[in-house]
Structure 1
């Protein structure tokens, strides 16, 4: 029944055109099952495979990314990066791999590329279209990660850095075995054009790095060329469209472009490249919004999309070919947005989904790094903000080539913050290295909003590089469905939950149906004020509108958050709670006015609660039964973390205030009936919130 319900909801998110397209996909899949793969002679010009192989070995007529001469320069410039790549390559020679938060695994010879040794699951080698990865016993993400073969460029680099044939032989040993076990269209590795596209990038780049190895024979080259050609065909014919045209489409188009650029000997490379670049420029405009935010409302997917565009741009630049303006402009505005979020040394945002996806692995980082990305953008496009905020290393050195771009102009200053009105994120910066973000944007992208979370009006707060209020992360995709449900929920984010419900209605692990719509009432970055509301709870039997005002003046160390919950009528019942998920390094104890937040035994923040009705303080840490009180350090891994807040009940309208203040600044007045440091009073047309905190005191009036 649950499966039928999911299909019903998924169909409801589709247009008539999409339904017809998906139906035609069944026909295409059946046709592909019977399709004979062409030989290498049938896909290169004039069938001249010997000429094609010689041109490949000489890198004629194509851009060069991995090159022995460049490797020598990079080894001298980045000795620490060199050592890290070589250590990673040695682990691969030894058969050791690790993905996500799962434990490390050893690939036992002979390697079975359909076996997940962590879960001890063997994925069936049947037609890919007949596999249901959503209901399988194993985690599809783990086996996909293995079959993306993104370790091959690391082995190719190690070969170029050292000349040690062990690395080339290991790469070819893995590739030979994979090719033998994974014919196109069969097995989990070919479940979707996206997997084919991302894998094709790594194979094509690694193959170029191995081109002068004795292990790279003509027979091996031809076998790989056939698979790359088939991957490119599938990237276009089976590309993601309609409600699925998110980062997956960019991955497919990038795979198509990379194969076409690195293998011009393929007869279809010319027209394929033209199509890929035209559509990549379009997707850069669509998926990177005018203010630079990612349309998917997920920081990690914006980074992934940017990395995919960047690989193609780097190859075009290396080929001395023009990069479509839409791609360059998209990369630059995305980089400037990302730089505004991470500053010089601020914590990396964690909003939305994150599957730790790489476009191309050129260093040993376990997860993609935003500052590595920024440095690479600066090296390829010359954007001065990206170059200034980035961290150069092996990846930026490879992508920037022997003559990296020179920054054109001055970097954008961080200033008091930023309001990304299209993406719906506000960044407020203050004294003492305080950085606050508030989500005032849409839930996600396209009709399913697959990678968004129910986090409207959610906050994050960091001070001097230390995360205080943090997004708990994605948690899980397939490995732990209960964790995924919790980590996408409103309860898991620093916002307000009403009646135990999410702001938006989930229709499945990657599907939202009813969505909260945010209305921005006021944003004053210079003054440190944000005021917005959403209608997500108006669908409830007791409809409620949630409004939040944040006051975080740049010169004040205090932050005041006022949540106003207004029912549809004077007798509307309101049950709500605030949640403030803290970083796992922090502990809390209950104080006289709220919660005292400690780090390694040192008090770092007072969190004070108040309301115009009685309230109950709440705290939870690492609760297995409910799944509350956790922080995902990696996908499929988690650490216990304190979630604190206040629960209230009332009718008609309820006001809850929360203040974050440095230690030692709160005031109380013994003998005064209103002796708390945070006071909320409400009359017919005004809410008055007073924070008594010495020089950090705030008096805020909100008109009703």
Structure 2
């Protein structure tokens, strides 16, 4: 019944043009079933048209730095910060990960439902292994060292993957974006093998592998071009797909691919981002995800003397400012919305800070630098020459102001003068397009870090394909640092990546006189919720007022970092962390409750934390949060 309801709501989110396009895609899938699926062939053996097959690659067009310094040899692929063992799973291409079950590698890809399959596992986890970062890292390691063990490992994994993942068989062909990331990995693998061949001599195994890789890249890029995400699905997926088409176009000097992709990437950059630098998906992770695509492509375009549109510089500069403003001086980053830790290029196999990496990348292609380091990440050292890195280091540095309000994008970021207190406030729209796929019902919520330690946190995104109720909980109003009326959600959840009725959120005022003052409102279900913030000298005051909710219970919600210690006292509730203490004063005398909630600091990881609820039927509520510094045990001062 739930599936039928979901399909009804999904159709309502589509316009006639999208329904027509999706119908056409169904007919295309039927043709592909007969043309490709029934052949039972790996992608390396699929026959393609003569125009595509005649294209000739040149690895020099990708422009890898052949004398990259401080490169590491590949040892293992990090699977979500060590949540899963690479050595255990490295050939388990169709593993369910969260269960002992596996995805069927023989079923026609379009007949597989990947969403919400708790009987098998989270498909996003499975796709991480199949993005093939390990392939490019192994090829790089062979180029650096000349050790044939790396080449043999690569050849063995490559052949095994193709044997178990025939073209349009199984879950590895259900997402054009996943294929696009795989195309990128195969392109870089090919380039490193070409460099290794030049450095260590020609070997039959390398020649065979190179030919198979190139043929696979052609087939997959041609496939992506026919299956680009469109209409309500055209979010970050479309940008990554176009990035892969552009990179393949440059590799093969095929202007049809390159010019089409660059034109569309310009259109999508404007369509999917606000002018002030905030991505409309309302997820910092997905913002840096697409920024990585533009940054890598810009470096490749520069090396091939392809003009970069001026609008790219304008938008990406503003987007870089926003990401830099979301990063604190203690290494912390405040993230709203979904975060599945996706990336495009990984030449080491090790976990790295994607936000700082993208800021380094932007520092190399834009007029300013946005990160303290430039050239720290190996990905960048392979893409940028030493001379370019030196020039980037000398660029003027963007400095985040103490407070900045993104009026259009919908976020306000506050840092005290010592940069030890970092507060972020959400007054944004729910999300992008008719789906708002990665947004959360978190209007008027906030997060707070003190000396790099999270105090009041966002619940995170532990898994996209858990039970519908669990997925809804992580996106719910009740699981964010805002206020709700009888636990109602501000927006209507109709599916894991689908929303119905949405709240309307507006910024009313923002002032920087005698501290920071911000007022915003959100309207939903006949309720109007006003929230006012005031910050000065280590004290954050919050006032909530409601209309249309007389006699109903209201909850002010605070989600605590699970490592924090909570103590109730006569003055209020004291929150202790290793480096700071925070005192919460309940100035409206609401009843306080302390319950548990599930917190996710990173994808696939979840733990239990404490949630404080201040409850009252009053229409006006207030809280005061005092940040206290530890001087020595037993004494504190503001």
TM-score, normalized by the shorter chain, greater than 0.5: yes
Instruction: Write out per-residue CA displacement over residues 411-452 of structure 1, whole angstroms, 9 at most, x where no aligned residue.
Output: 333222111112100112224422211111100000010000
Paired residues of 1:114 and 1:123 also in contact (CA < 8 A): yes
Quick check: which has more Rg, 1 or 2? 1
Paired residues of 2:324 and 2:371 also in contact (CA < 8 A): no
Counterpart of 1:20? 20
Report the aligned-residue RMSD.
Answer: 2.7
Paired residues of 2:80 and 2:604 also in contact (CA < 8 A): no
CA distance in 1, matches of 2:575, 2:87: 41
Aligned match for 2:234, one of 236, 245, 269: 245
Counterpart of 1:659? 624
Counterpart of 2:140? 157
CA distance in 2, matches of 1:294, 1:664: 35
Note the C-alpha offset of 1:39.
6.7
Counterpart of 2:489? 502
CA distance in 1, matches of 2:270, 2:626: 41
Note the C-alpha offset of 1:162.
1.9
Relative to structure 1, the CA distance from residue 642 to residue 361 in structure 2 (aligned partners, 3 Å threshold; closer, same or farther) is same
Counterpart of 1:296? 281
CA distance in 2, matches of 1:108, 1:594: 49
Counterpart of 1:223? 212
Note the C-alpha offset of 1:490.
0.8
Aligned match for 2:577, one of 585, 588, 599: 599
CA distance in 1, matches of 2:319, 2:511: 22
Counterpart of 1:197? 180
CA distance in 2, matches of 1:229, 1:586: 52
CA distance in 2, matches of 1:112, 1:619: 43
CA distance in 2, matches of 1:396, 1:217: 25
Note the C-alpha offset of 1:46.
10
After the TM superposition, which of the residue ranges 362-371 and 410-419 deviates more from structure 2? Answer: 362-371
Secondary structure in structure 2 of the residue aligned to 1:634:
coil
CA distance in 2, matches of 1:221, 1:112: 24
Counterpart of 2:40? none
CA distance in 2, matches of 1:121, 1:38: 28
CA distance in 1, matches of 2:382, 2:265: 22
Which residues in structure 2 correspond to 1:271-282 (within 5 Å)? 271-282=256-267
After the TM superposition, which of the residue ranges 225-234 and 236-245 deviates more from structure 2? Answer: 225-234
Note the C-alpha offset of 1:216.
4.8
Note the C-alpha offset of 1:604.
0.7
CA distance in 1, matches of 2:548, 2:89: 61
Aligned match for 2:538, one of 552, 557, 563: 557
Counterpart of 1:534? 522
CA distance in 2, matches of 1:639, 1:263: 48
CA distance in 2, matches of 1:378, 1:223: 35
Counterpart of 1:616? 591
Note the C-alpha offset of 1:250.
0.7
Note the C-alpha offset of 1:635.
1.4
Paired residues of 1:419 and 1:525 also in contact (CA < 8 A): no
Counterpart of 1:452? 439
CA distance in 1, matches of 2:363, 2:611: 38
Note the C-alpha offset of 1:186.
1.8
Paired residues of 1:335 and 1:385 also in contact (CA < 8 A): no
Q: Which has the higher contact order (CA 8 A, sep 6+)?
A: 2
Paired residues of 2:413 and 2:424 also in contact (CA < 8 A): yes
Counterpart of 2:409? 423
CA distance in 2, matches of 1:340, 1:117: 36
TM-score, normalised via structure 2 length: 0.90
CA distance in 1, matches of 2:52, 2:587: 78
Which residues in structure 2 correspond to 1:305-704 (within 5 Å)? 305-366=290-351, 368-379=353-364, 381-388=365-372, 392-404=376-388, 406-407=391-392, 410-432=396-418, 433-479=420-466, 481-525=468-512, 527-536=515-524, 539=525, 543-553=526-536, 556-567=537-548, 572-600=550-578, 604-611=581-588, 615-621=590-596, 628=597, 630-650=598-618, 654-663=619-628
Aligned match for 1:126, one of 107, 120, 129: 107
Relative to structure 1, the CA distance from residue 180 to residue 430 in structure 2 (aligned partners, 3 Å threshold; closer, same or farther) is same
CA distance in 1, matches of 2:67, 2:115: 43
TM-score, normalised via structure 1 length: 0.82
Structure 1 gaps, min length 5 = 76-81, 622-627, 666-693, 697-704
Note the C-alpha offset of 1:347.
1.8
After the TM superposition, which of the residue ranges 14-23 and 147-156 deviates more from structure 2? Answer: 147-156
CA distance in 2, matches of 1:46, 1:12: 39
CA distance in 2, matches of 1:489, 1:311: 35
Note the C-alpha offset of 1:577.
0.6
CA distance in 2, matches of 1:664, 1:39: 65
Note the C-alpha offset of 1:7.
0.6
Counterpart of 2:200? none
Relative to structure 1, the CA distance from residue 112 to residue 645 in structure 2 (aligned partners, 3 Å threshold; closer, same or farther) is closer
CA distance in 1, matches of 2:580, 2:293: 43
Aligned pairs, number:
614
CA distance in 1, matches of 2:361, 2:96: 33
CA distance in 2, matches of 1:606, 1:141: 39
Paired residues of 2:133 and 2:347 also in contact (CA < 8 A): no
CA distance in 1, matches of 2:100, 2:142: 32
Aligned: 1:173 with 2:160: no
Paired residues of 1:116 and 1:122 also in contact (CA < 8 A): yes
Relative to structure 1, the CA distance from residue 63 to residue 589 in structure 2 (aligned partners, 3 Å threshold; closer, same or farther) is same
Aligned: 1:208 with 2:208: no
After the TM superposition, which of the residue ranges 387-396 and 306-315 deviates more from structure 2? Answer: 387-396
After the TM superposition, which of the residue ranges 454-463 and 335-344 deviates more from structure 2? Answer: 335-344
